[in-house]
Structure formats: C-alpha cells, structure tokens
A and B are shown apart, each in its own frame.
Chain A
Amino acid sequence: MNKKLAHFILLTLDIGAILGAYIAYQHAVSTLSSISMGIEKIAFESSTLYYFFALIIPALHATALTHNDHTKNTKQTTIINTSLAIIVLVIISGKHMATNNIESALANANYKPCEHLNKGKFERATYKKQC
C-alpha cells in the first residue's frame, strides 16, 4: 500500500477512534451521573467501552510518525516501542477497570440488571432498583 494512502486511511481511523472514545467516555460519565442522581432506569452498555480499544490506532499511527527510518534499532526506537506497549496495556486495563468501576457503582447503589429488558447480542443491560 502506498504510504500516502495508508496515512489517509489511518487519519480517518484516528478520527473514528477519537469519536468512539468520546462516545464511550460520555456513556460512562452519563451512567455515573445517572447513578448519583438515583434515576430509576439506567441502560449501561458495557460493550460501548470497547470503543476505547480503537485508541490503539492513533497510538500506532503516532509511533509510525515518530519512527525515524535513518536511526533504526536505536535507543529512541526502544523507548517509542516500549511506550506503545505501555499504551496498549493501559487501554486494555483502563477499559476493564472502567467497566468494573461502573458495575460496582451500580451494585453499590442497589441497581440490579433486569434480564427481561436486555436487548442485543452484546451486553446491553438495563439496570433498575426493582425489576
């Protein structure tokens, strides 16, 4: 694949990834605020938080941009690649921590998942204090 086309595709995916991460963040924030307000019915779709995974694309793209082809296998490359590995781990663990935190916040506020209100193949749990 031509490099220009590759950068264009990656730029498009970067925008999509940032948009996805924003949607996931908004979903998490709105769920937490609904819990604090004590709203009767909360729809928390934990699968939405998988959008955070798409942030790996901007990270990889940034890595590709910072790589200097003339200085291969240098200390700089090692630092960049290690940073990328850390970013990947942070994204994966961050997603799982966010899901667990929201689910435990729901449980602490006495919200229960109502199976009969669930939709879709992925988890799309609807939580209520009384199902």
Chain B
Amino acid sequence: MSELGINGQVVTKRINNKTYIILKGNPGLRQVLRGTRYLASNPKIIKFAIGTQSVNRTIAKGGIVTLLITIPLSVVDIILQDSVTVGKIVGTISTDIAKVLVSAGIGSLAAMAIGAVTTLAAGPLIAAIFVGIAASVALESLDQKYGITDKLIKAIDDELNSLYNKTIGEFVRGIRQIEAVLEYQIRNGLPVGRGIFY
C-alpha cells in the first residue's frame, strides 16, 4: 500500500506462457518497485503480495504458520485436560487442519475473484485477509453449533475401542481362558496343558 498508494493499480497479463504483473502509474514515484512490469514469480512482487499468485503464496505460507501454531497449542490444551484420548488429539487436530484449509481456500477464492475483476493492487490481499477471518469464525461457529469435532472424537474413540476389542482384547481374552483352564487342571490333578498344548 505504501509503495503503490491507495490508487495503486496492477494488471495481470499472460505473455508467452509467463504471467506478468504490470504496474500502472509513475515508476519514478515508487521506492522499490521501480520497473513497469515484473514476472509474477519475482521475489519483489511476492514480498509485496501483489497479484493473485503472490497473494495465494502468502495465504499458503500463512496457512502453514497457522497450523504450526494451532496444532501444538491444541495438543497442549488437550494434554492439560483431565481425560486425554487418542480420539481427542486426532479429532481436534483434524478439524483444526480442515478449518485452516477451508478458510484459506475461501480467502484465496475471494482474492482470485477480486483480482480478476479489478485492477486495484491491494484488492486481492484485502479480500483474502478479511474473508479468511470471517470464514474461519464462521467455521468455528458451525463446529460449535453442530458439534462436528465432538462427533469426530466420539467416532474415532468408538472405532479405536472396537478395534482394540477385536485385536488386543480378543488376544487377552484368549490368554485368560487358557490361564483358567490351566489353573483348573492344576487344582484337579489333571495333566497340565492337555487339550491346549497337546
């Protein structure tokens, strides 16, 4: 904004399969972007988040940073609670990732749409930031209202319990049964292990 001003305008053009960002206005008045056209992948353009491609890269970086902050915080929050289950950790992290991805996607979509209809340089970035915030709040609100995270946690816990019963639980029950038979055989003076080992 400080470089291009409130009225800063950019046009995205595709020439020979390369996307160029053409900056409107007097280049002499700019401090850093002193050229008139740059490749969309130019580091200066990416640094200033000009054009849809740069905004999308910024959104992707922001999403990764958000996940790097959110996931450890969620894990610590769960660990500090009274009851910690695998379902709670996996379910919470999964929905957190989904929320970040969906809100970043909506922000990116808004930025692309704004970038396609206006030449305003700051337009895509403003759209991505504000729509992203509104979308993430809306997703959190929907999660709270419909209890999606809670349902997912319950489903994971139920599935893990059922899996435990079918595998380790079944094995433990088998061992206990053998133990009971051996104990009965020892107490009653019967040949130990007959019917089980031979």
Chain A 1-37 interface mask (CB, 8 Å, partner B; 1/0): 1110111011001000100100000000000000000
Category for how many chain B residues contact A: 20 to 34
A101 at the interface (CB under 8 A from B): no
Q: Are B7 and A57 in contact (CB under 8 A)?
A: no
Q: Which of A1, A20, A63, A121 is B120 in contact with, Cβ under 8 Å?
A: A63
Q: Are B112 and A17 in contact (CB under 8 A)?
A: no
Q: Are B109 and A9 in contact (CB under 8 A)?
A: yes
Q: Are B134 and A54 in contact (CB under 8 A)?
A: yes
**Chain A residues numbered 19-71 whose CB sits less than 8 Å from any CB in chain B:** 20, 45, 47-48, 50-51, 53-54, 56-57, 60-61, 63-65, 67
- Main secondary structure on B side of the interface with A: helix
Complex Cα distance, B9 from A52, in Å, reads 26
- Main secondary structure on A side of the interface with B: helix
Give the number of chain A interface residues (Cβ < 8 Å).
Answer: 41
**Chain B residues numbered 96-142 whose CB sits less than 8 Å from any CB in chain A:** 109-110, 112-120, 123, 126-127, 130-131, 133-134, 137-138, 140-141
B25 at the interface (CB under 8 A from A): yes
A85 at the interface (CB under 8 A from B): yes
Q: Are A64 and B118 in contact (CB under 8 A)?
A: yes
Closest to B123 in A: A60
B57 at the interface (CB under 8 A from A): no
Most chain A Cβ neighbours within 10 Å, of B9, B110, B113: B113
* Minimum Cβ distance to chain A for residue B77 (Å): 9
Q: Are A119 and B110 in contact (CB under 8 A)?
A: no
Q: Are A13 and B113 in contact (CB under 8 A)?
A: yes
If the complex has contacts A56-B127, A73-B24, A77-B7, are A17 and B134 also in contact, measured as CB distance less than 8 A?
Answer: yes
Closest to B52 in A: A1
Q: A10: which B residues are within 8 A, CB to CB?
A: 110, 113-114, 117
Residues of B whose CB lies within 8 Å of any CB of A are 6-7, 9, 24-25, 52, 109-110, 112-120, 123, 126-127, 130-131, 133-134, 137-138, 140-141, 143-144
